[in-house]
Structure 1
Amino acid sequence: MGNLPKLSLVLIGLILGASLVGCDDGRAGAQDAAKQLASAVAALDVGSVPFDGKESGAANEQLNAVFKALEPAKPAVQSGELTLDSGTATVPLNYSWKIGSEEWKYTTFAQFKKSGDKWPTVWNPATLVPELADGEILSMSAESPQRGAILGAGDVPLVSYRPVVNVGIDKPLLGAADAADAATRMAQLVGVDPAAYAQQVEASGPQAFVAAITLRADGRTVTDEQIAAIPGGRAIPDSLPLAPTRTFARALLGTAAAASAEQIEKSDGALKPGDTIGTGGLQQQYDAQLRGTDSTVIRAQKAGLTAEELKAASPDPRRILFQVQGKPGTPLQTTLDLNLQQLAEDVLAKVGPASAIVALRPSTGAVLAAASGPGSNGYNTAMLGQYAPGSIFKIVDSLAMIRNGMTPESKVDCPATLTVDGRTFKNAEGYPASSLGSVTLRDAFAHSCNTAFINARDGVSQAQLESAATSLGVAVEAPALGAAAFLGSVPGEAEGTEHAASMIGQGKVLLSPLSAAVMAGSVAKGAPVSPQLVLNPNAGGADPAATSAPSPAAAGATPTVSAEPPAKTSGTPVTAAEAASLADMMRAVVTSGHAGFLASVPGAPVGAKTGTAEFGKDDPPKTHAWIVAVHGDLAVAVFVEDGGLGATTSGPLLKEFLTAAG
């Protein structure tokens, strides 16, 4: 009797085990089959999945045909809770697609039919998309929104949609004419490479329109009659986001045009043929904001449905499965003044070397013009240039000297030459003998006495120069600017001849025309100017802190924002009293110095400072020509890269600009 309980337990265990085996209906196998299917569909490859009623290879071809329009997107697919009924398992499949910035979610049901110990999937197109029938596929149409405008001061459009014509060969119109000959004639008419265009036309399909060039409708010299005289020649009206002229602020604004095949390929599905994309300048930096988001519609339709059949059908035979409402591009608001920018470009139009004019409003920091001349070859010299500033940097020297107790009336020594550690420094050609010897700081500043400022080097440390520069808004970050720029560089340490050179804006001291205008503007304001160009930099997620950029060695290339922005912060801000002394000396440059030609500029009194900086290894060396000025609530910097003396080269350009600006 003692063994009975143990025997009973064994019997009970055997009975329970038999019962469990009897209940093993293959649920685990069905669940594994469902997970395999979900994983395969997510990879868009069901070639290894066993099907009931469909060969795996054929099922895979149909799956890819169904989803081809959504390439390169792939779905995330998860299998849900299994339901079992007499050897048939039903499992929900939860799909999630990333379509643009939206998510398309839906659920279908997959069936699995038990066959021995296997659970092959019952083929059904509705497993891929709800209610999808055999012979149906998905289609996706995306419509790009209108690109946002770039606006200037007072919301005046700088870049907006303007009429253009796409000129090229429409191959169906060629008739019996030779395509290569027609393409060559068209290329010669519009000024593009004949061989390359002829090859492009010949390689295109028989129904293609092959554009040779896009011309502005206004003012074009190639006429419709000339185009039509060429077999297949056609001009198709269109519109594009364009500035007022082809060159208007191009280096600053960049351009917007149809995305190239290379850009589309690199976009990872973000771009499609026909999309407009920004290249260079603000157009590229704020492309996401300006471009907006596409409207997208995904439909189910009969495979092979032609455009003609669709046009003839009523109602539309396609079923809408998912829609994304597009968002038009957000305009970019800037401070650029249309008239002043155009004026600056007109003034620079005949200047051969790289050149720039920057004008800003000291009271607000608003950048009103940032023009780079034709000699800059597309480089944004105005904002990205890095050049020795020469004697305009004496504004910084003078602030440091004033902080050491000097006034415009203080005496300084201005010899004809001065030797520092074996290097001889002298004044510019034509320096007046009457302003040599013991002169006032104002007089030395007005006539730009190099030796007087170099003589002050023992009383003004390099660190004090750096501090004075940052006090005037130079060589610091510009968080409100909203565009790539170089704001200047002033080393905090330098000795001997390098420190002496810094006193006359050479050595390792570098400014851009923008930072030179900021420096002058801080004098006019009586406080550091923080420049501002873009008013809504965060509307599209662009980085408003992108304020530093590469050296001008890359002139002609599209600049990119440097990873190394100025790290310095402002020193003790220039005070109103300090600025008044500096303004007094800048006014003396006009009233008694060598910028007397500015005395006739109408309106508020002009204060100025000229600068000439040697560069290169030529003998005599080439020079950068600078001049900065303040005129009421306007601060202007003019720069010519290879320009002789600031007073004689940049000065007349400044006078022309200020006089016309009114």
Structure 2
Amino acid sequence: MTTTASRFVRPAVAWILLVPLLGLTACTGDDGLGDAVDELTSAIEGHDLSGLGGGLDEIVEPLAGYPLEVSAAEPERTDDGATVDLAFAWEIEGREWSYRETAVFVETSEGWTVEGDPALVADGLADGERIEVTREYPERAAIVGAGDETLVTERPVTRYGLDKSWIEADQVADSAAAIAEAVGVDVEPFVARAEQMGPQAFVEAIVLRPEDAADRVADGYAEIPGANAIDDTMLLAPTREFARDLLGTVGEATAEIIEESDGEIAAGDQVGLSGLQATYDAELRGTPAITISAVSGEGEDAERRALTSWESEEADPLVTTLDVELQNRADEVLAGVSGTSALVAIRPSTGAIVAAADGQSSDIPNVATTGQYPPGSTFKVVTALALLRSGMSADDAVTCAETVTVDGFEFHNYDDYPASATGEITLRQAIANSCNTALIGERARLDDDSLVGAAEALGLGTEADLGFPAFLGAVPSAESETEFAADMIGQGRVLASPLAMATVAASVSAGQAVAPHLLADEEPDREDPAAPLTAEEAETLQGFLRAVVTEGSATELAGLEPAVGAKTGTAEYGEPDESGELPVHGWMIATQGDLAVAVFVAEASSGSETAGPIVEAFLR
């Protein structure tokens, strides 16, 4: 649990002070009492009791972050003044604290004064007491996956570092350097931090899971003077790699988070710092237990009595669709990939995202769901649908030439394109072997709207609030005929994420535009396509994907059971190298039973050679 308390302030003086109420004098049609009451209620609501003296302004400071409404009854006149019943209504983090107090007004030659009673700060506060607010959060709710299997929960860790209280001052630098080397952290920064901290400090070097510590912590660590290892727990996923960017992390609230919370979060609170932990932080934190106390005395002799309190309320787990087995498998097949890579898997029958993994060496977070890259020839599934809607059929002839020129720009096929699939071939063969020139040669049949409509029918390029950071692709209008030709083969300005292309594969498999979702209890808010995918179109596209495996560019998947459909993609980007060759991204999308998957590798040789083996390992 996390407990935070407001700081102590100077206690109230033990006497009642009569002061002019902000210098107000009678100046209206009556004797000014009504205005004096209004000014008092406004001052109390604004947590500004400086006009009441006696230190009350400082005593109210621990409550300054909470909204307060004060309403006044009609004043009751007395021989030497008036009394006014005040109704207080505090909003304490969603709870209400209501009570009544009486303010005593005295009329003097200078106007109305009010008695500076500590009860005007808080119900029941007496002379010599101050306010303390403590907040204690319940245990943070877990994040669970498919089958209610716990994903993120408290798991054992060990904190490795230097305990300065165990050694002499002249040993600090040497011990810190030895500890840093033993646990594999940068030596100089750790030594500098160790020397700056106090003589009794524990200077943390790293926090490790038991399985990571076994491989990382050097033998002999315990013999280093001052080296300490403290067992603890942290909110963690099953493994260090498990959907780490998507699930996010939890840590102590930063100054920025505290400032933006409008008093809801205090220093020392544990909050979500990234991913789902940050997006759903309020839901996962639950409601803290809060006690507002009156405190008298100092230090160990201080006495506390509760003025009011509320119990904590635990949050419900955040239920996701992630499948532990499939997510672990996704992490495993990306483990050896260098550079940025990602894999997303979806259930076509439901749209549930069952795996969303970024490669261990990826230096960009959330590539799986938010990456924006040209999808290359995986986009030809969209182009194929657009051509079918233009009146073509799978067996219609197209010309797969060596090159095709559009407005002076020469397009070609990939380097090892099979000679047997050139010349007059069918549309199915063109998709199976990924012939660029054949599709570009049919560009007169299409326009921007037909590509956009086909993309939307397959769930690509649509706007949707999925409840987590996501990019479902973009198919902007082409600014030239050359750009449109490039768009048809997934280059130009067409962009997609691995999530978007997995959605395309899932939509082909399901026979309708799939709306991907990660949260089990929330359906994505997305409009249906204007021209939905028909059963006949879906069947033809499924045949195209199967042909890619049986006779085309993904024959390495032919031996998998159940049968697989796929589409490879190689997308050029960036600047050419010394040989004039452009670097390429590698893509592959695939379907197998009730599973659709997309793999992306930023630095690849081709989609088939680089992404293909990853898909094969994942599906096998």
Shorter-chain TM-score above 0.5: yes
> Deviation string for 1:110-138 (max 9, x for gaps)?
22344445443334333433443222112
- Per mean C-alpha deviation after superposition, the further-off stretch among 153-162 and 261-270 is 261-270
Provide the C-alpha distance between the structure 2 equivalents of 1:36 and 1:444, rounded to a whole number of angstroms.
81
Letter of the 2:284 partner, please give it.
Answer: L
- 1:343 is displaced (CA, Å) by 1.0
Corresponding residue for residue 6 of structure 1: none
What SS does structure 2 have at the residue aligned with 1:407?
coil
C-alpha distance in 1, partners of 2:394/2:529?
24
Aligned to 1:255: 249
Asked if 1:431 is matched to 2:417, the reply is yes
2:213 is paired with a residue whose SS is coil
Please point out which of 278, 303, 312 is paired with 2:272.
278
CA contact (8 A) 1:372 1:379 kept: yes
CA deviation vs aligned residue, 1:605-638 (integer Å, no higher than 9, x gap): 1111111111122021111111111111111111
Residue 382 of structure 1, aligned match among 368, 375, 378: 368
Give the corresponding residue for 1:133: 126
Say which SS state the counterpart of residue 458 (structure 1) adopts: helix
Structure 2 match to 1:526: 511
For residue 27 of structure 1, report the CA deviation from its aligned partner. Answer: 8.4
1:373 aligned partner: 359
Whole-angstrom distance in 2 between the partners of 1:28 and 1:203? 64
SS of 1:376's equivalent in the other structure is: coil
Structure 1 distance, partners of 2:256, 2:617, is 44
Question: What SS does the corresponding residue of 2:314 show, helix, strand or coil?
Answer: coil
Contact 2:348–2:510 (CA under 8 A) maintained in structure 1 = yes
CA shift, 1:93, in A, is 2.9
Q: Does 1:578 align with 2:548?
A: no
> 2:548 is matched with which residue: 589, 592, 599?
589
Note the 1:102-251 alignment, pairs <5 A. Answer: 102-116=95-109, 118-168=111-161, 173-174=165-166, 177=169, 181=173, 187=180, 189-192=182-185, 211-221=204-214, 222=217, 226=221, 229-231=224-226, 234-251=228-245
Write the deviation string for residues 406-463 of structure 1: whole angstroms up to 9, x where unpaired: 2222211111221121111111112222221111222222211111111111123332
Give the drift of 1:293.
Answer: 1.8
Cα distance, 1:347 vs structure 2? 0.9
- State the match for 2:82 in structure 1: 89
RMSD: 2.9
SS of residue in 2 equivalent to 1:365: coil
> For the structure 1 residues 122 and 624, does the alpha-carbon distance in structure 2 shift closer, same or farther, using more than 3 Å as the test?
closer
TM-score normalised over the length of structure 1: 0.81
Report the counterpart of residue 295 of structure 2 in structure 1: 301
Structure with max Cα Rg: 1
Contact 2:47/2:61, CA 8 A, preserved across alignment: no
Tell me how many residue pairs correspond in the alignment. 586
Task: Name the aligned partner's letter for residue 624 of structure 1.
Answer: H
Partners of 1:395 and 1:30 lie apart in 2 by: 79
Secondary structure of residue in 2 paired with 1:301 = strand
Q: Does the 8 Å contact 2:66/2:93 carry over to 1?
A: no
Q: Which residue of 2 aligns with 1:498?
A: 483
Partners of 2:591 and 2:326 lie apart in 1 by 15
Identify the range of structure 1 (271-280 vs 215-224) with the bigger mean alpha-carbon deviation. 215-224
- Distance across 2 between alignment mates of 1:517 and 1:387: 14
Conserved 8 A contact 1:98-1:104: yes
**Corresponding position of 2:9:** none
Which residue, 569, 576, 579 being the options, matches 1:611?
569
Q: Structure 2 length normalisation: TM-score?
A: 0.86
Cα contact 1:476–1:569 (8 A) shared by 2: no
Residue of structure 2 in register with 1:325 after alignment? 311
Determine if contact 1:180/1:199 at 8 Å carries over to the other structure.
no
Q: Which residue, 284, 292, 295 being the options, matches 2:286? A: 292
Shift of 1:524: 1.3
Contact map agreement 2:253 2:271 (CA 8 A) in 1:
yes
Taking the aligned partners of 2:68 and 2:345, their CA distance within structure 1 comes to 53
For structure 1, the 5+ residue unaligned runs are 1-25, 50-55, 311-316, 539-543, 548-567
* Cα distance change of structure 1 residues 136 and 418 upon mapping to structure 2, 3 Å threshold: same
Asked if 1:651 corresponds to 2:609, the answer is no
Distance across 1 between alignment mates of 2:77 and 2:274: 61
Matched residue SS, 2:276: helix
- Residues 328 and 203 of structure 1: CA distance in aligned 2, closer, same or farther (over 3 Å): farther
What is the distance in 1 between the residues matched to 2:593 and 2:374? 27
Task: Give the secondary structure class of the aligned counterpart of 1:499.
Answer: helix
User: Aligned pair in 2 of structure 1 residues 461, 651: CA closer, same or farther (>3 Å)?
Assistant: same
Deviation per CA, 1:314-337: give whole Å up to 9, x if none. xxx532212233222231111111
2:399 counterpart of 1:399: no
Distance 1:71 1:203, change over 3 A: farther
Between the aligned partners of 1:83 and 1:67, the Cα distance in structure 2 is 27
Partners of 2:202 and 2:500 lie apart in 1 by 48
SS of structure 1 residue aligned to 2:135: strand
CA distance in 2, matches of 1:224, 1:100: 50
Report the residue type matching 1:474 in the other structure: L
Which is further off, 261-270 or 338-347? 261-270
Q: Is the CA contact 2:169–2:199 (under 8 Å) kept in the aligned structure 1? A: no
Quick check: 81-90 or 240-249, which moved more? 81-90
* Displacement after TM superposition at 1:184 (Å): 5.8
Distance in 2 separating the partners of 1:117 and 1:500? 86
Equivalent pair of 1:420/1:500 in contact (CA under 8 Å): yes
**Counterpart for residue 7 of structure 2:** none
Distance 2:158 2:30 in 1: 66
Q: Which runs of 5+ in 2 are unaligned?
A: 1-28
Following the alignment from structure 1 to structure 2, what is the Cα–Cα distance between the partners of residues 209 and 95? 46
C-alpha displacement of 1:31 = 4.5
Give the 3 Å change call, closer, same or farther, for CA 346–298 of structure 1 in structure 2.
same
1:140 to partner: Cα distance: 1.4
